[in-house]
Amino acid sequence: MMAASVDPLVVGRVIGDVVDMFIPSVGMSVYFGPKHVTNGCDIKPSMAINPPKVTLTGNMDNLYTLVMTDPDAPSPSEPSMRELIHWIVVDIPGGTNPKRGKEILPYIGPKPPVGIHRYILVLFEQKGPIGMVEQPTSRVSFNTRYFASQMNLGLPVATVYFNSQKEPQAKRR
């Protein structure tokens, strides 16, 4: 009954809840302002109202798709709205950032009402340009695996996740 794996994505059940086991091939670094996002770190919602700075490695010929989703909506003990999709950007050229891609679904920041939510940024490699795709009809009950199979994206190439919880209104003394 001991540690299954030390990989933080497996430990945090990101692999399993949102994506399947994959081999990371592209480096992705995400910054919310000055804070660098590592797996499982804490980000306050007030720091994440604007989209993060994401830098990718990889060569310019490949196009990538970035998806940000929350599998713990509305509460981790009762995720009836799993997953809540926050951001979809397609056609990002390798080695650049999502501003060069096409934003299918505009970014909304984390707003966890109850409990501590995981927010997962998944990067897929596209086989070809996708262009404009219609937005998903609603942000709830999103399924990353289904989306990837619909867009013919295969397994992810990079994933990072962070935790966030509702901030208390008044500053704690």
Quick one: 59 or 171, whose CB is closer to another protein? 171
Q: Binding residue for another protein (CB under 8 A) from 21, 25, 31, 38?
A: 38
Q: How far is the CB of 114 from another protein (least distance, A)?
A: 6
Q: In what order do the strands lie in the sheet with 35-36?
A: 35-36, 28-32, 53-56
**Hey, which residues between 64 and 103 contact another protein (CB under 8 A)?**
72, 75-80, 82
For 66-85, letters b (16+ CB in 10 Å) and e give bbbbbbbbbebeebebbbbb
Count of residues near another protein by CB under 8 A: 30
Quick one: 12 or 95, whose CB is closer to another protein? 12
Amino acid sitting at position 13: R
By CB under 8 A, is residue 59 in contact with another protein?
no
- CA–CA separation, 76 and 114 (whole Å): 8
For 115-132, letters b (16+ CB in 10 Å) and e give eebbbbbbbbbbeeebee
Quick one: 87 or 161, whose CB is closer to another protein? 161
Quick one: 64 or 161, whose CB is closer to another protein? 161
Of 119, 103, 100, give the one whose Cα is nearest residue 12: 119
Specify the stretch interacting with another protein by CB under 8 A; choose among 5-13, 21-29, 88-96, 103-111.
Answer: 5-13
Q: By the criterion CB under 8 A, which residues form the site for another protein?
A: 1-6, 8, 11-13, 16-17, 38-42, 72, 75-80, 82, 114-116, 163, 165
